[in-house]
Amino acid sequence: MTLPKATELPIGAVIPEPGSTRRNTTAGWRTLRPVINDERCVRCQLCWLYCPEGTIVEKKGVFKVGGRTYDVRYEINYDYCKGCGICANECPTKAIEMVPETP
Amino acid sequence: MMVQKTKQVEALTSNYAAAYAVKAVDVDVIAVYPITPQTTIIEKLSEFIANGELNAEIIHVESEHSALSAVVGASATGARVFTATSSQGLEFAHEVLHIASGFRLPIVMAVPGRALSAPISIHGDYSDVMNARDTGWVIYIAATAQEVYDTVIQAYKLAESVLLPVMVAYDGFLMSHTMEPVELNDEEEVRSFVPRAARPYTLNPRRPVTMGPLASPDWYYELKYQQVLALREAYKAAAEVDAQYGRRFGRRYGLVEGYRMEDADYAIVVYGGAAYGNAREAADRAREAGIAAGVVRVRLYRPFPTEEVLKALEGVKAFAVVDRAIMFGSPAEGPLYKDIATAMYIHGVDKPALNVIHGIGQRPIYVEDMYKIYAALRENPRRGVVFMGVRI
Ligand code: SF4
Ligand code: SF4
């Protein structure tokens, strides 16, 4: 996504339309992104529980991973994930890796 | 038949001159808290309102922080506003100075400069004003009551055209409480000179906008850079407003004023009234003694008029900058000196320049002191800082 230039922004940091937060993403300051290795994930839900931003999404469905079948999968909504790394820290199977963001 | 308008001349203090200008531009909202030496501005404005001469809302606030906050709010709705303060009051409002400029609100504020605590001094210098120099405000420093009147009017035109807050500063007490003849403009003329311009964004329930949002690292830098551009634009606009004002009302000052600078070898650079008056008198005496002396007065302090200052000092062999404020711990303690030194360095100009700190807490600056500076410049042109008039 390309953001507007200094000269293109409304004067005085005004947000000129109401309700714009509905389509604003808030992940611009992330330097590391969590990546979940689905193979190692045991569906313990700890990352989902600990994420302070609520940006880990619990997806329902039928997911065949290796020899197992799960009815849930954890995904990260990168539009809002701040890259704090709490999920990676809490994951008991080290299924989450923090990977550098490239500009 | 042409109606001949008689010129109205009044004996006014600079504070009253500011109040008369505020009345002439017809402001909507005023919020101020009493602080010496600013108080008489608001006294006069209250009188105007009580007499029905000015139709404005006056907000009685409990501090200068609130005063500036109140005009920030009022200005955000599109109202034309005014406030004034001095010294600790300006320091107390400092946080809001950044908010006013960040919001790009055309607030006009008068500041008769006063020394800072501690120890308490109610007397004049420019420590308060100089502390506000990096807040994104346009800052004028006037030298006469007439100029205070004219500059406050110009300030509204400039503020509303570039959307920046403007401070009009002048000497506390030496100007704020002393009288000079001031020629007042016809108020209808003033109002036609400063018509209310439509603003791009105001707080209006029929057209909702958000002011004061949070800006993440994705946005903040660009918005601050916008302010850099706005101040650069204000530099050009200030000269233009001054020229227009001159055409309409017959008085203009330029961004930098020179006195006997045409063939000067030695110059004193000053700001404010007392320093300018005494330096001019000293230059006359120095000329009689055979020193080609001149004075440069910086009238627009922010944005800094680099070109004009460099041009004014082009022909001199050496100069001194008299500062009435101290930047503690700086390589040279005078703020104007530092600006000029920076401007010269960037433009590859190198000539001896002395920084003279004087007039702190209204320590009298005598014409004789200024004369001594000229003599010293001729005898021994050098660099560095001199604390003049202090017992050491
Ligand atoms: S890095 Fe932080 S914000 Fe992002 S998903 Fe993990 S816990 Fe949530
Ligand atoms: S904490 Fe680790 S193992 Fe548990 S659900 Fe999240 S990614 Fe899977």
Q: What is the mean pLDDT of chain B?
A: 96
Is residue A65 assigned to a domain? Answer: yes
Is residue A4 assigned to a domain? Answer: no
Cross-chain Cβ contact A15/B215 below 8 Å: no
Instruction: Assess whether pLDDT exceeds 60 at residue B3.
Output: no
Share of chain B above pLDDT 90, in %: 97
Is residue A72 assigned to a domain? Answer: yes
Give the helix, strand, coil percentages of chain B, each rounded to 5.
40, 20, 40
* Ligand 2: centre distance to CA B316 (Å): 75
Q: Does residue B374 contact residue B291 with C-beta atoms inside 8 Å?
A: yes
- CB atoms inside a 10 Å sphere around CB A23: 7
Share of chain B above pLDDT 70, in %: 98
Is residue A6 assigned to a domain? Answer: no
In what order do the strands lie in the sheet containing B29-32?
B57-60, B29-32, B81-84, B108-113, B166-171, B138-141, B300-302
- CB atoms inside a 10 Å sphere around CB A57: 12
* Ligand 1: centre distance to CA B222 (Å): 27
* Residues of B in Cβ contact (< 8 Å) with A29: 216-218
Is residue A12 assigned to a domain? Answer: no
Helix (H, G, I), strand (E, B) or coil at B40: helix
CA B329, chain centre distance (Å): 24
Establish whether residue A88 lines the binding site of ligand 2, counting it when its CB lies within 6 angstroms of any ligand atom.
no
pLDDT band at residue B217 using 50, 70 and 90 as cut-offs = confident
pLDDT in tens, B361-391: 999 999 999 999 999 999 999 999 999 999 9
Is residue A25 assigned to a domain? Answer: no
| Structural domains of chain B sorted by starting position, each given as residue range(s) with its CATH number in brackets | 8-249 (3.40.50.970), 256-387 (3.40.50.920)
Element (H, E) at B355: strand B353-357
* Residues of B in Cβ contact (< 8 Å) with A9: 219, 222-223, 226
Residue A22 has a pLDDT of: 81
The pTM assigned to this predicted structure is 0.91
Instruction: Assess whether pLDDT exceeds 80 at residue B2.
Output: no
Is residue A10 assigned to a domain? Answer: no
Is residue A14 assigned to a domain? Answer: no
pLDDT in tens, B252-296: 999 999 999 999 999 999 999 999 999 999 999 999 999 999 999
| Chain A nearest CA to B218, separation (Å) | 6
Q: Quote the number of domains for chain A.
A: 1
Element (H, E) at B377: helix B367-379
* Residues of A in Cβ contact (< 8 Å) with B216: 26, 28-29
Range of the domain at A84: 30-100
For position A45, which CATH number holds? 3.30.70.20
Query: B348 is written with which tokens?
Result: 């590859």
